[in-house]
Structure 1
């Protein structure tokens, strides 16, 4: 049994090493663009329905939590289907690697929201910008297994995140547009990059 366990562990390690050196093709441009549409729709609905988001932070962040959950679900479903199609036997290892690269930024975003909500409610205006910065870090962490040009999307979120923090620092208010528009643009950039790279050029092999 020990020899069998060792052999299985060795096979798993080899598969992980192969996955680490293979370009991940689980993200599709259409779904990425659709997540941008979700962000735009969320911003429009909040603009119409919330009136003053700063006075209703629970409604504001709950709306964006739903938008994020829907986007993750859409990306996850397509990721699984495309990985099965493009990566065959390596699909599970590739998906695990993709999730592992972005997971720290996602967990940090959730914990940051909880901590600010619980202990520093007066600083919640920082969250939209900080979330964008965390998204940029997640994208940069994924560059080694995606088209190199996704770094442009990471750079956009990095710059927009700091710009949103600076803008919000003037009024300490929440706005659906400083949350929504950067994500609309960022996801559109990601979709365009993935579309251009779909012919297997500009991808690290």
Structure 2
């Protein structure tokens, strides 16, 4: 029984090593572009119907949390389908690797929002810019298994995050545009990069 456990552990380790050295093709341009469209829709809805985002932070962030959940579901569904199509037996290991790469940034975003809401609500104006910075870090953490050019999307979110913090520091106000436009452009840029890379030799196999 001990030999069987060791053999299974060795197989798992080998599969993990192979997955770590294989380009991940689970992220699809269609789902990523759809999340950009959803960000634009959320921005417009809040601009038209939320008169005072700063005075109603719960409504403001609840809208973006809902958009994030839907976006995550879209990406997850397409990731499952594409991974099993492109990676076959390695699909589960590849998906696990992709989740592990982005999970720290995602968890930090959730915990940061909860902490600011609970202990420093007057600093919630910083959250949009901080979220953009965390997305940037998540993308950079995933670069080794994605097309190298996704670093441009990471760089965009990095610059946009600091720009959003700088602009918001003048008024300490929440703005649908400051939250939404960086994500709209960033997700569409990411989708374009993945679309081009899927037809070019931009991914190291």
User: What secondary structure does 2:4 align onto?
Assistant: helix
Partner of 1:186: 186
The reply to whether residue 73 of structure 1 matches residue 73 of structure 2 is yes
What are the equivalent positions in structure 2 for 1:146-161 lying under 5 Å apart?
A: 146-161=146-161
Partner of 1:16: 16
Give, in whole Å, the separation in 1 of the partners of 2:64 and 2:146. 26
Partner of 1:93: 93
What are the equivalent positions in structure 2 for 1:17-56 lying under 5 Å apart?
A: 17-56=17-56
Deviation track 1:21-60 (CA, whole Å, cap 9, x = no partner) reads 0000001111110000000000000011111100000000
User: What secondary structure does 1:55 align onto?
Assistant: coil
Question: Greater share of helix residues, 1 or 2?
Answer: 1
When normalised by structure 1's length, the TM-score is 0.99
Partner of 2:108: 108
Give, in whole Å, the separation in 2 of the partners of 1:136 and 1:204. 21
Partner of 1:139: 139
Once structures 1 and 2 are overlaid, which stretch shifts more, 169-178 or 192-201? Answer: 192-201
The reply to whether residue 59 of structure 1 matches residue 56 of structure 2 is no
User: What secondary structure does 1:80 align onto?
Assistant: helix
Superposed CA RMSD in Å reads 0.5
Give, in whole Å, the separation in 2 of the partners of 1:198 and 1:66. 30
User: What secondary structure does 1:199 align onto?
Assistant: coil
Partner of 2:84: 84
Give, in whole Å, the separation in 2 of the partners of 1:67 and 1:204. 32
When normalised by structure 2's length, the TM-score is 0.99
Give, in whole Å, the separation in 2 of the partners of 1:113 and 1:195. 32
Give, in whole Å, the separation in 1 of the partners of 2:185 and 2:201. 23
Compute the displacement of 1:169 (Å).
0.1
Give, in whole Å, the separation in 1 of the partners of 2:31 and 2:108. 24
Compute the displacement of 1:200 (Å).
4.9
Partner of 2:122: 122
User: What secondary structure does 2:170 align onto?
Assistant: helix
Segments of structure 1 that go 5 or more residues without pairing to the other structure are none
User: What secondary structure does 1:192 align onto?
Assistant: helix
Please tell me whether the aligned partners of residues 116 and 124 of structure 1 are also in contact (alpha carbons under 8 angstroms). Answer: yes
Please tell me whether the aligned partners of residues 144 and 204 of structure 1 are also in contact (alpha carbons under 8 angstroms). Answer: no
